[in-house]
Amino acid sequence: MRKMFWAGLAVLATALPASAQEVTLRAVSSFAEGTQFSKNFERFIEKVNRDGKGVVQINYIGGPRAMPPFEVGNAVRTKVVDMANVTGAFYTNLMPESDGFKLIGKPMSEQRKNGTWEYLNQLHNQKLNSQYLARQFHNVPFHIYLNKKIDKHDFAGLKIRVTPVYRDVVEAYGGTPITTAPGEVYTALERGVVDGYGWPVTGIFDLGWDKVTKFRMEPAFYSVEVNVLVNLDSWKALNDAQRKVLNDAALWLEGLDSENEAAVKAERDRQTAAGIQGLDFGADAAKAFLARANDVAWQSVIKKAPEPGAKLRQLAGN
């Protein structure tokens, strides 16, 4: 897999256009090509390649077939690639406070006005050697999906596939967390290695997980965040016109968040039609779960990264 990746890069390097003005950036996604959390990034690439003719182009190397998802953050930091579509949950090793991004649920239009974008850009500049170009998927929360029925919020005796997004809440409710990349979820469920998994409300059909999923636990919690990052050296090497194409496309990409509410509703309906049952323990239980999920996550972020954690909490306002 890695050999293929490096061979691919070598081919790309020799295929760069000769034109002095036009720059080509190499991009990867931490999610499979054509799936829920790559789709809008791929639309963004198409737009940049349309609007940026003769100015800036993006060469899309692809998703996890090209690069393991948990290595994408480091690859953009070290300029193995120029650009990446990646959730903060996949680079907590480089920036522990990135685990807190899921707790910031405000729309990007607001985050760009109230200093959140600026602070996150500083963090990315310093710790990930990258420009924080855009954040996607406002209004898309997460769920725990299960194959064993429970009658209250209690994961005792259950093994649940996690990333840093769900680890603290799974542990708080007595479950055993098992970390895997998204590409390993299907097999883990099929073989009974796990009894459930954390994932956003959307996207479970992309890799066929609906066939190995019985229940979706309510309530939905936290906020999906998938970021477009640009290596800071690559970013600084661009001229104003090139940066403008990327910044304009980034705002357009964030504008696609207006599609999310309808997409979430459609996906919930599709899960119901596929026979996936909601496990809903009522309004009081939901309220208590959300409060605890929020608490344990902030505690964990602040413990790992006290100063940025506290600042993020203040910006998140929860």
Side by side, the strands of the sheet bearing 215-221 are: 176-179, 159-162, 196-200, 142-146, 215-221, 277-279
Distance of CA 186 to the CA centre of its chain: 19
Based on CB atoms, which residue is closest to ligand 173, 226 or 316?
A: 226
Report the alpha-carbon distance of residue 111 to residue 124 in Å, rounded. 15
Out of 200, 249, 305, 316, which residue is the one contacting ligand 173 (CB under 6 A)?
200
Judged by CB under 6 A, which stretch of 9-17, 195-203, 209-217, 243-251 contacts ligand 173? 195-203
Between 38 and 59, name the residue whose CB sits nearer to ligand 173: 38
In whole angstroms, how close is the CB of 166 to ligand 173 at the nearest point? 7
Distances, alpha carbon 270 to alpha carbons 65, 100, 120, 207, in Å: 28, 30, 35, 15
Handedness of CA 125, 130, 131, 134 (dihedral sign): negative
Distance CA 54, CA 24 (A): 10
Pair of tokens at residue 157? 């005796």
Contact mark string toward ligand 173, 174..193, x via CB under 6 A = --------x-----------
In the chain, % helix, strand, coil (3-state, to 5) comes to 50, 20, 30
Q: CB 52 → ligand 173: shortest distance, Å?
A: 27
For 210, half-sphere exposure in the C-beta direction (CA atoms, 13 angstrom radius) is 17
Report the residue number, 52 or 182, with the smaller CB distance to ligand 173. 182
3-state SS, residue 25: strand
Rounded to whole angstroms, how far apart are CA atoms 5 and 19?
25
Which positions from 230 to 269 touch ligand 173 by CB under 6 A, shown as an x/- string? ----------------------------------------
Q: Which residue is nearest to ligand 173 (CB)?
A: 163
Contact between residue 81 and residue 28 where contact means Cβ atoms under 8 Å apart = yes
The amino acid occupying position 178 is: I
- Under rule CB under 6 A, which residues in 149-168 are in contact with ligand 173? 163, 165
Q: Which is nearer to ligand 173, 80 or 224 (CB)?
A: 224
Nearer to ligand 173, 198 or 308 (CB): 198
Nearer to ligand 173, 173 or 199 (CB): 199
User: Residue 40, interface with ligand 173 (CB under 6 A)?
Assistant: no
Taking the least distance from each CB to ligand 173, the nearer of 181 and 302 is 181
Site string for ligand 173, 86-105 (x = CB under 6 A): -x-x----------------
In the complex, which residues of this chain contact ligand 173 (CB under 6 A)?
Answer: 37, 87, 89, 163, 165, 182, 198-200, 224, 226
